[in-house]
Each structure stands twice: as structure tokens, then as C-alpha cells.
Chain A
Amino acid sequence: MKDSAQGRLLVLGMVIVLWGVSGCGRLPLKSSTASGPKSVAGDIVIAIRAHEEQAQVYADKGMLPEALIEWKILATIRPDAAPYAENIRRLEQRIQDAAQKHLRAGVKALENGKIRAAKLEFMKSLAYDPRQSTPKTYLEEMERRAILSIQTAKYERIKRRRAGEKLAVQVAAAQIDEQEFYYLEQGVRLFRDGELRNSIVEIEKFLNSYPGDPLARQYVLDAYLGIAMEKIASGKLDVALVSLEKSKNYAAEDDPRPAAYIRRIKKSLAEDYYEKGQRVFRRDIDRAIEYWQRSVEYDPEHAGAQMRLSTAMKIKRKLGTLN
């Protein structure tokens, strides 16, 4: 504790000691009008009287924990006062008795399947003594089971739906009841707004739980194809190919589009890299080899690239030997 706090506690302590020395074993009930420590003493007397009265009022009303607080404050002011300590001991016992009575009632209600009554009794037990662990554990466990049972019901629903319902239809009908559907709804909205990449992010969250949903899969497929078309239009065939490869995962078995687009783009990329190799061959054989290798990767049947690559490799080996 800081010095200033210790100082003010010391003054207060000295006042209490002075009472004891001057024969104030039983605390005076009137305030002093004198200045200095005596006026402080007067304030303390008033405070003590107020706390004693308040403790009695609480006890009369059956508000035992509140009465206990008042006695504990009084015992802080006068730690040597035996009556305070005795009042605290008695009250603590009564509080424990009341808390235990409600705890037993709660356990009995729970055994009889009366969940609401049990919950109320456990809370009443805690209202007497919130530091007990047993009623809190009961309440936590009841709440835990209630929440997990709702989640288990959801998993059963998901398993049934996975079995083949066309779920996205529900979104159109606004029958949304799970977070997965909010993500799907958001994804469809983004798709319609042309935010294709963001729409995929959201719809894939839906597909994490419902991987077989055909309409959701169709949205992701169309989004990937849409991105691929944009990239093709801007000449970024490599990037388009990445989107098309991903789109294959969402296409129905009888949908020929992704595979056909991929074939065409690979042919085109193979030709591009073949031409690039042709252009740099005379001044940079390593670069040319790299391009033709990529050409062959995209189209293993590209005869021109195969032949050029083979020739270039031979030349390179000869150069290596000469060096």
C-alpha cells in the first residue's frame, strides 16, 4: 500500500487506540465537536453507529450476507471487539446453513427432473454464498448440457440435409436458421454485385458444412469461371488457369466447361511460351530452355517445343563440354 494510504490508516488507528486508552471500551455513540483527531473520532463514532444500526436492520429483514458485510466493516474498524467477531461467526454459520438448504433442495429437484426449480434453488444457494463451488458447478453443467443439446440437434439436421436436399432453395425462401445460411446469403449477394472472389469466400463457409449442396456449388463454379473470363480478357492466362483449375472442384461430372476451357488455355499458353523461347534462343539459351520447358508442361504434345527443347539441351551440353 502507498505511503499516503498508510498515513491515513495510521491516523485512524491512533484514534481507535486513544478510545481504548481513555476507557471507551464500549464505543461512544455521540459525535465530538472538537477539532483535530477528536473530530475524526466523532466521525468514526457516527460511522460505527450507522454500521451497527444497518447490520441490525439487515439481520431483522433476513438479509444475512448484507448484515455480515456490516459486521465485517465494524470488525475492520475495531478488530479487538469480541462482540463483532461473535456476530460474524454466528452469521456465517446461518448463511452456510441457508446456502446448504437451497443446495440440497436443488439437488433433489434435479433428481426429480425439475430443471427450472433446481436452477432456482442453486441460484438461491449462491445468493447466500457466491463463493461456493458446488451450486455454481451444477448451474454451469445444466447450461452446458442445454447448449450442447441444441448444437447436437443442429448436427443431426446437417447430416440429414447432407443426404441430398437442395439447400440453397431455402435461402431464396428466406428460411434461414443457421449461420451457414447467412454466409451463403452473403455470398450470393456478393456474387450478384460482381464481387466474385469475396462471394467465393462466403459461399465456401456454407459448403464447409454442406459440401454437397448443388446450388451453392454452382455459385462457386460460376464465380471461378467468371474470374477466369475476366483474366483471359485482360491477357492473364496463367491466373485464369488457376481459377479454372479450382472451378473443376465444383463442376458437376457432366459439366464439360472447366475441362474444355483448361485445355484451350493450356494450348494457348504452350504456344505463347514456345514463341517466347523462339524469340530469346539466339541470345539466351537458358531462358529459351525455361520457356520451352513450360510450353511442354502446358502441352506435352507440342511438337515444336519438344524439338526445340531437345536441340537446345544438346547444344547446352556441348557448350558445357567445350568450356
Chain B
Amino acid sequence: MEGEEFVVVATKTSDTLQSLAKEFLGDESRSREIARLNKIDRILPGQTIAIPLQPLHPLGIYPDGYQTIPILAYHRFGLSESNMTVTPESFYRQMAYLANNDFNVIPLKDLVQFLDGKKQLPPKSVVLTFDDGYKSFYMFAYPLMLKYGFPGTVFVYSDFVNKKAGLNWSEIKEMVDSGLIDVQPHSRFHTNLGLSKIGENETDYMKRIEDEITTPSRRINKHIGRSVYGFAYPYGDSNEKVIDELRAAGYQLAVTVQAGSNPGFAPPYLLKRTMVFGGDDMERFVSGLRWFEEVTLR
């Protein structure tokens, strides 16, 4: 039986939660929604199963609290550890932790629909982002992302592409073509968009913002053939004018570097991100993975 919000089916021998999710929702990763609604962890033949056609918990709000999505921000990778440089060993331990502790690494783009109440995200969802577009991401981190099948977003500032320590377009294209990595703008020159330069008048400031926002998206489109949806503010800094420009340019979300996780009611153009530092131990890393806030809401 099919209504506007549910389908109810009698299961066959060959049915699984995943096959039902794929058949009726077009996405087998949504099997959790079916399992949760029917309070089951597997399908038996002859069961009557209800399948939700719309998110039952849009925005991730539950009676006992609300879901939050941590977005982690990395920069460089290298053998010499510093705040901005994470060693491959540390990154490996962190990715292994996510894999072994049932975290669901999701693409940044999924947040667009989540924040709009149109997509339910799995529990323990986390987003991985990589700022600036260092070649060391391609050398050290990307192979591990492939190994674990984790999606991630690289925010490049376009003036850095093809520079000595920066990714080149061929490497970016290769990663994007893998289907795991997407590339989004992090400005053109990596100037601070939140405040004007010394001696810069309002007109020049607005011109600079427009250039920093639109030029990298054009270049990404030209070299990679993809349109963009997300923006990472250099230094995480923004203001009302910058947000207006982003909205006008068609961006759907933007990320800061203010630490914290994002609920479904987070402002899409000021999403929080937690920086991962080279010297972080596992305790600090795990503390940045808050995925649920317990609070009695009903």
C-alpha cells in the first residue's frame, strides 16, 4: 500500500533492509530509516514493513535531543608535525578511529538538504574538509580516503593551484573523478573577507569580495567542469556583506573555523568547523566529534 508518506509492503525471502531502501527510496544507505521505524535490525520473509517516503526526523530533532554534524578541517600533511601540519600516521589513526567506531563520513553536499529539512542523515555523521589545496593532501591523505572510501571536500584558493606546494588541476581532476573528493572554493587570493584592508575604500572592498568569491568558482568550472555549492572563508572570517555576495553567487553553504558541530537549524552560511591540529592526541580528536546533544525536548 502506498500513501503520501509511507509505503507498506509484505516482504519476500530475498528482501533485505538495504534492498528495500534501494527499491523504494532509491538509496540503500537509507536502510537505517526503515530499521528504526520498524524497530528491527533485519528483514524476515512475510513481515509487513512500513517504509517512510519522507524524513521522519527532518533536522535531526528527537524527543531526547538533536543530531549535530561535526565538520573537521585539516590543512597540510607532512612528516614534520606542527599545528597546521598533521602527520600521515596521525591521520591514519584518526580515519581508523572513524571507521572502527561506526562513524558515517558523509559528503559536505549532504548538509545542503539536511539543513533544508529534506534529508535525514545517519547517526554519527561527520564531514571531512581540507583547506587551501596543498599537494600534501594528494600525497598523504587522499590514498587513505580511498582506502576507507571516505568522501571529503578540498577547499582550494585558486591562486595557489599549480604553485609549488599546491595541487595542480590534473591532480584535482583525478581526485574529483574518483567520486570521493569534491573541490570547492576557498577564495582566489586567500585574503580576509571579513574586514577591509588598510586604506581600502568600500567600493574596492566590495570588488575584492566579488572577485574572491566568483573567480575561483569560474576556474573550478573551467578546469574540472563542475559547478560549486560551498565556500570556506579564509581564516573562517565573514560578515553580512560577504554572506549576501555568496547567496547572490549561488552558493548554498559556507564554513567558518569556529569550533563546534552543526545542528539542523545551523545557519547555512556560517557553519562551524573544528580544526584538527598536528599535535592533537586522540582524546582531543574524539572531543571534536560531537554528533548528538542530549536535551529533553518532549
Contact = CB atoms under 8 A, between A and B. Distances in A.
B46 interface: yes
Contacts of A44: 10, 48
Interface in B6-53: 6-10, 12, 23-24, 37, 46-48, 50
Given A9-B2, A139-B265, A180-B235, A159 B9 contact: no
B195 A158 contact: yes
A122 B61 CA distance: 11
Interface stretch (A125-133, A241-249, A253-261, A303-311): A125-133
Given A126-B61, A140-B265, A186-B76, A76 B46 contact: no
A155 B194 contact: yes
A105 B5 CA distance: 30
Contacts of A235: none
A186 B165 contact: no
Most buried by B among A9, A127, A150, A186: A127
A209 B235 contact: yes
B136 to A, nearest CB: 10
Interface in B118-150: none
Contacts of B160: 201
Contact of A183 (B1, B5, B50, B84): B84
Contact of A205 (B190, B238, B297): B190
Contacts of B84: 182-183, 185-186, 202
Q: How large is the interface on A (under 10, 10 to 19, 20 to 34, 35 or more residues)?
A: 35 or more
Contacts of A96: none
Contact of A12 (B8, B63, B265): B8
Most buried by A among B56, B189, B298: B298
A76 B198 contact: no
B7 A76 contact: yes
Contacts of A16: 1
B297 A123 contact: yes
A215 B275 CA distance: 26
Contacts of B12: 8
A139 B191 CA distance: 30
Secondary structure at the B interface, as helix, strand, loop or mixed, is loop
A58 to B, nearest CB: 10
Interface in A180-236: 180, 182-183, 185-186, 189, 193, 197-198, 201-202, 205, 208-209, 211-212
Interface string A126-157: 11101100001001110110011011101100
Contacts of B6: 72-73, 76
Contact of A179 (B3, B236, B240, B263): B236
A124 B66 CA distance: 10
B267 to A, nearest CB: 4
Nearest to B235: A179
B239 A151 contact: yes
Nearest to B57: A130
Contacts of B1: 9, 12-13, 16, 76-77, 79
Secondary structure at the A interface, as helix, strand, loop or mixed, is helix
A39 interface: yes
A110 interface: no
A186 B82 contact: yes
Contact of B9 (A9, A79, A205): A9
A284 interface: no
A128 B298 CA distance: 8
Interface in B184-225: 189-192, 194-195, 197-198
A66 B265 CA distance: 21
A74 B189 CA distance: 58
B45 to A, nearest CB: 10
A40 interface: yes
Most buried by A among B3, B10, B80, B117: B10
Interface in A29-49: 39-40, 43-44, 46-47
B87 to A, nearest CB: 14
Contacts of A201: 160, 163, 165
A208 B192 CA distance: 7
Most buried by B among A2, A47, A180: A47
B42 to A, nearest CB: 17
B256 interface: yes
Nearest to A45: B48
**5 A-B pairs closest in CB distance:** A47-B48, A127-B297, A76-B3, A139-B265, A144-B267
Interface of A: 1-2, 4-5, 8-9, 11-13, 16, 39-40, 43-44, 46-47, 51, 62-63, 66, 69, 72-73, 75-77, 79, 120, 122-124, 126-128, 130-131, 136, 139-141, 143-144, 147-148, 150-152, 154-155, 158-159, 162, 176, 178-180, 182-183, 185-186, 189, 193, 197-198, 201-202, 205, 208-209, 211-212
17 contacts: A43-B47, A47-B47, A76-B2, A76-B6, A123-B295, A126-B265, A127-B62, A136-B59, A139-B265, A141-B267, A148-B238, A151-B237, A176-B83, A185-B83, A189-B82, A208-B197, A208-B234
